[in-house]
Amino acid sequence: MAGELSFFELGAGDSEQARTFFAGLFGWSFEPGLSDGGGYAIRTPNVPGGLHGNDPGARPYLFFAVDDMETALARVRALGGSVDGTDLGSGEESVARFGAFRLCHDDQGTPFGLHQPPPGR
């Protein structure tokens, strides 16, 4: 499972409008997320995702599965990449429901994310 696409995140100016659009386009289902900004968990046929508001013009974030977040972060740094300072979804309830997330950049500055799924997934 390590290295597989495991989660995606979409940012939008208006999360309600984006929810309506993507539900109509792909038939995705949405359930309220844990963010205060009107976020949603997205259920798709294969890769789960998230949607958050107040982020107009944001590009999608792709998260790749890791077995151990700290080991993976150390490896990113050892290979010349960087790790953003923000620990995404670090609340206990969020980690239990969705797992742990970190944004990174490769050694050329390309953004990507790491995702350690919650136990049992």
Calculate the average pLDDT of the chain: 87
Integer Cα distance of 117 and 121 in angstroms: 6
How far apart are alpha carbons 113 and 10 in whole angstroms? 13
Q: CA-to-CA distance for 65 and 30, rounded, in angstroms?
A: 22
Find residue 32's DSSP bridge partners. 40
In terms of pLDDT, which residue wins out, 86 or 71?
A: 71
The proportion of the chain whose per-residue pLDDT surpasses 70, expressed as a percent, equals: 88
Distances (CA, A) of 16 to 12, 51, 62: 9, 10, 21
pLDDT of residue 59: 83
Q: Is pLDDT at 49 greater than 90 in this prediction?
A: yes
Task: List the domain boundaries for the chain.
Answer: 5-116
Note the helical H segments in 52-91. 69-78
Fold of 5-116: 2,3-Dihydroxybiphenyl 1,2-Dioxygenase; domain 1 (3.10.180)
Residue 37 has pLDDT above 80, yes or no: no
